[in-house]
């Protein structure tokens, strides 16, 4: 799929910017803090329904403005669409496709499919489990609006349950409400668990294949287990019942601590390379290759599941990678993918590929095509 045209209104540092995009490589060039990452983030918002780098969606609204609008014209499997994504200061999000408002709660339409590579990807491998949960969530949200819905419902219910738990520390009241939250939480949890399990099983194979392309000796494994005894091969109802049972069992403990101590929000994905725990013992090189392999596997997985080729967003990755990994990334570009790549330094590129179509220069909140 490709984005032919992108327009940003009161979004981040852009008051009004508009550009057409090339169907293959687009090199976005500009100094520091001019809005290169912001531009890629806007495409990622269209694909995920929210920002991966903002704690609240409202953060992307240009300071002092009421709402941000991201508008695009896309072609997907031979059909054209117009998509509008609107984020209001009051937190409300609206998605319109071909002028028709989409029902729902800001879950992505699934029309724009994109994969982002950034220097932060190393965190998936090196840092805490929340980065690995974000990774798997970003992948699954794009293939299933049901997953997006249950994840949002789970997190919202969790916040409500936790504040209720805190209020129960002193005096026992509203136990009925707790029962209701538990039921609601368990239903969402069982969907998340089962979808994560099925997704990881497939991604693991694809990631290992990508790992071995770059580094033939290595074997990348991803293992996923909930943080309590739970058989995920059972059906949804049974997983839900088992989760409810555990909530009951841990209730006193949870009240004493004022938090829900287990569940998908505590999931860990353990990455190993040739049976070595990558996070603790992996070499810098193994960690970098694995992070790259995971993102490449995301492309493969989305392609398989959705039968569309995602847009490749490469945020400032050229300077981070060595020649070998850079080449393996650039090989992807031959696969007929649209790519938006940001850089402060154009000299990484062969002058032959730099045409007036491919370079977008960003300056003072404007995007100028052919800016060389």
Ligand X SMILES: Nc1ncnc2c1ncn2[C@@H]1O[C@H](COP(=O)(O)OP(=O)(O)O)[C@@H](O)[C@H]1O
Backbone angles phi, psi at 343, to 5 degrees: -160, 155
Told to check if 118 binds Mg ion by CB under 5 A, we report: no
Q: In the set 55, 63, 176, 322, which binds ligand X (CB under 6 A)?
A: 63
- ∠ CA(81), CA(86), CA(87), 5° rounding? 150
Told to check if 44 binds ligand X by CB under 6 A, we report: no
How far is Cα 200 from Cα 190, in angstroms, rounded to an integer? 15
* Cβ proximity to Mg ion, 189 vs 362, nearer residue: 362
* Cβ proximity to Mg ion, 36 vs 196, nearer residue: 36
Residues across the chain? 372
> Interface mask (CB under 5 A) for Mg ion, residues 18-57, using x and -?
------------------xx--------------------
Q: In the set 8, 34, 112, 321, which binds ligand X (CB under 6 A)?
A: 34
Mark the segment that binds ligand X (CB under 6 A) among 36-44, 76-84, 193-201, 302-310.
Answer: 36-44
Going by C-alpha positions, the residue among 253, 189, 200 that lies closest to residue 227 is 189
Backbone angles phi, psi at 289, to 5 degrees: -65, -40
Told to check if 33 binds ligand X by CB under 6 A, we report: yes
* Cβ proximity to Mg ion, 22 vs 316, nearer residue: 316
Binding residues for ATP: 30-37
* Cβ proximity to Mg ion, 19 vs 118, nearer residue: 118
Backbone angles phi, psi at 130, to 5 degrees: -60, -30
As given in the structure block, the two tokens for residue 10 are 């009161």
* Cβ proximity to ligand X, 12 vs 153, nearer residue: 12
The footprint of ligand X on this chain (CB under 6 A) covers a number of residues equal to 15
What's the closest the beta carbon of residue 30 comes to ligand X, in angstroms? 6
Q: Say if CB 295 and CB 117 are below 8 A apart.
A: yes
Instruction: Count CA atoms closer than 13 A to 332's CA, side-chain side.
Output: 30
Going by C-alpha positions, the residue among 49, 89, 43 that lies closest to residue 66 is 89
Q: In the set 1, 3, 8, 12, which binds ligand X (CB under 6 A)?
A: 12
Told to check if 190 binds Mg ion by CB under 5 A, we report: no
The interaxial angle of helices 175-214 and 145-168, nearest 10 deg, is: 130
Told to check if 100 binds ligand X by CB under 6 A, we report: no
Footprint of ligand X (CB under 6 A):
12-13, 30, 32-38, 59-63
């Amino acid at each position: 799929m490709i984005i032919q045209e992108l327009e940003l209104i009161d979004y981040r540092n852009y008051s009004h910017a508009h550009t057409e995009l090339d169907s293959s490589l687009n090199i976005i060039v500009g100094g520091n803090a001019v809005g290169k990452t912001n531009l890629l983030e806007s495409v990622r918002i269209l694909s995920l329904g929210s920002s991966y780098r903002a704690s609240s969606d409202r953060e992307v609204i240009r300071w002092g403005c009421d709402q941000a609008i991201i508008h695009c014209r896309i072609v997907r499997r031979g059909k054209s669409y117009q998509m509008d994504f609107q984020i209001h200061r009051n937190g409300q999000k609206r998605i319109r496709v071909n002028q028709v408002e989409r029902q729902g709660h800001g879950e992505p339409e699934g029309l724009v499919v994109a994969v982002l590579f950034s220097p932060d990807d190393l965190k998936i491998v090196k840092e805490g489990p929340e980065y690995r949960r974000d990774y798997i969530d970003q992948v699954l949200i794009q293939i299933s609006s049901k997953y997006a819905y249950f994840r949002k419902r789970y997190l919202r219910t969790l916040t409500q349950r936790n504040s209720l738990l805190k209020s129960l520390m002193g005096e026992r009241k509203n136990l009925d409400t707790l029962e209701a939250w538990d039921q609601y939480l368990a239903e969402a949890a069982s969907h998340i668990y089962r979808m994560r399990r099925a997704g990881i099983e497939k991604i693991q194979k694809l990631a290992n294949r990508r790992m071995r392309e770059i580094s033939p000796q290595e074997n990348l494994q991803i293992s996923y287990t909930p943080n309590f005894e739970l058989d995920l091969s059972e059906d949804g109802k049974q997983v839900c019942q088992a989760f409810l049972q555990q909530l009951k069992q841990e209730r006193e403990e949870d009240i004493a601590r004022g938090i829900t101590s287990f569940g998908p929000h505590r999931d860990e994905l353990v990455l190993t390379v040739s049976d070595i725990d990558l996070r603790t013992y992996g070499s810098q090189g193994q960690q970098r290759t694995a992070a790259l392999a995971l993102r490449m596997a995301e492309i493969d997985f989305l392609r398989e599941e959705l039968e569309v080729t995602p847009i490749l967003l490469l945020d400032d990755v050229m300077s981070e990678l060595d020649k070998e990994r850079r080449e393996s990334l650039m090989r992807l570009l031959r696969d007929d993918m649209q790519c938006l790549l940001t850089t402060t330094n154009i000299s990484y590129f062969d002058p032959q590929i730099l045409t007036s179509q491919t370079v977008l220069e960003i300056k003072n909140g404007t995007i100028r095509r052919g800016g060389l």
